[in-house]
Amino acid sequence: MCNKHRGGLFPADIGRPTLGVKLLGGAVSRDKYFIEGLAMKRASRAAELMHLLPQLRDPQSELLLLRSCMGIAKLFFGLRTCQPIHMEEAAMLFDKEQREAVEDIVVGGGPFFRDLQWRLASLPIRFGGLDLYSALEASSYAFVASRAQSLVLQDHILRDSGLCGMDSDFDNALDGLHGTISDFDVSSFTSKDTVPPKAQHVLASALFSKSVQDMEVKFDMPTRQKTIFGCLQAPHAQDFLLAIPIDGLGQHMSPVEYRTILRYHLMIPLFPIDEVCPVCRKAFLDTFGEHVVHCKELPGFKYRHDFVRDVLFDIFRRAGVSVKKEAPVNFLTDLLERRSTLKPADVMVYGWVGGKHACVDLTGVSPLVRLGVRPFTVGQAALKVSSNKVTKHEKACYDNQHAFILFAFDTFGFLAPEAVGLLHKVQKVMHSNVMSPRSMNIVFTRIGFAIQKGLAAQLVARLPSIQV
């Protein structure tokens, strides 16, 4: 089109909306009221969907849908394209409704869902949260990242207009973000030549890392809460949250089981008062259920072990690996009693290590046993029991041309290195033998869910009948 037909940057006869247009759910406009109005409509519709969640009567499915289909994704395009100050009211409404939705999922209208629980829920899974992002928090980094990444394209499109570089909207948003993460160098976001490839991921990671560092002081966390928060951030600790409800794979919990596990992870009391354990009579049943988890005399302790073993066996079987459960081994024979002194292998995997059969022994521990007696390190309980069992059984297996693999885990989902290595190998075999998405950690998700389902059975068995 010839320049004489242009009225500025665009052709003179092109349609020009007075206030702006809607594109992919977000506003393309400079008008404050148009942006705010469109954002509020978007947030209100998301809230309406959240109000329908309780009709499912299944907390596991509700949380999965809230995170995947009804969460921050409903607003993200607007958060990336519109100035944070114009999105603030809509973001606050969205956060209020999302908090009420997750509160209903976790406690079902009960008490103890406070600011700490909401802060935990709004963290990414890798930081120990439920992956329910706060829209208000996301608005601080989404707009900056989007504008910084599109700076090259913007300069190209506007190359003949005389406009270049960033405007005051970007500068104000960047200043606000820098005030939140003052220790992070944001100077690379001011030039198109230095913007990181994954700008939004970089900024979000910096923001959440700062939030995690400040949480212990902000919420005045006691030792137990600090310990649990550390456990939740361990690799694979929150994998169970990604499990799609499938009864045939053991990937579904009853409403009371799933709510109980969420409460346990979010540090919400489970029992009304402390009382003496009715079975062992040696300790108190604390309000958070720690004694229930590690008391070997209470019902459900062996169920957790057996359930994880059964799921691991099923994973091997579905991957096409030759395997046997509770396989008898007779390596350690007492010459006087003429009987085996070594218990059956939880799972025997044939030809697994260099052609040798592997005896896989499962052991689950609570990381909170004797908490405060010694300095705490995430995973130390599982690593200690792993070392002890390897010392006890590995040589006997080796002498009899078998491999010994200890599958140690704790109640928050931490996996010892040997267990991680085993699962990675199984997953590779599964990808080779079975059609499965290579991007999904199916094996880790199933094991993580099995650990939490077994733990839920222990806790639910001791819940007051009125809660069940």
Q: Which residues of the chain have pLDDT under 50?
A: 1-2, 4, 332-337, 466-468
Question: Largest Cα–Cα distance of the chain, in whole Å?
Answer: 107
89: exposed, middle or buried (C-beta count within 10 Å: 0-12, 13-18, 19+)?
A: middle
115: part of which helix (H) or strand (E)? helix 115-121
* Rounded CA separation 133/67 (Å): 8
- 8 Å CB contact between 315 and 426: yes
Q: What is the pLDDT of residue 351?
A: 94
* Rounded CA separation 318/275 (Å): 44
Radius of gyration over every alpha carbon of the chain, rounded to an integer in angstroms: 27
Which pair of tokens denotes residue 36?
A: 């705010």
Give CA 334 to chain center in angstroms.
Answer: 47
> Nearest-CA neighbor of 264 among 68, 444, 95, 462?
462
Q: What is the pLDDT of residue 314?
A: 95
Which residue's entry shows tokens 């137990």?
A: 224
Task: State pTM to two decimals.
Answer: 0.87
367: exposed, middle or buried (C-beta count within 10 Å: 0-12, 13-18, 19+)?
A: buried
> Nearest-CA neighbor of 89 among 49, 39, 42?
39
CA angle, residues 377, 381, 385, in degrees to nearest 5? 140
* Rounded CA separation 382/410 (Å): 6
Which residue's entry shows tokens 């005045």?
A: 220
* Rounded CA separation 51/43 (Å): 13
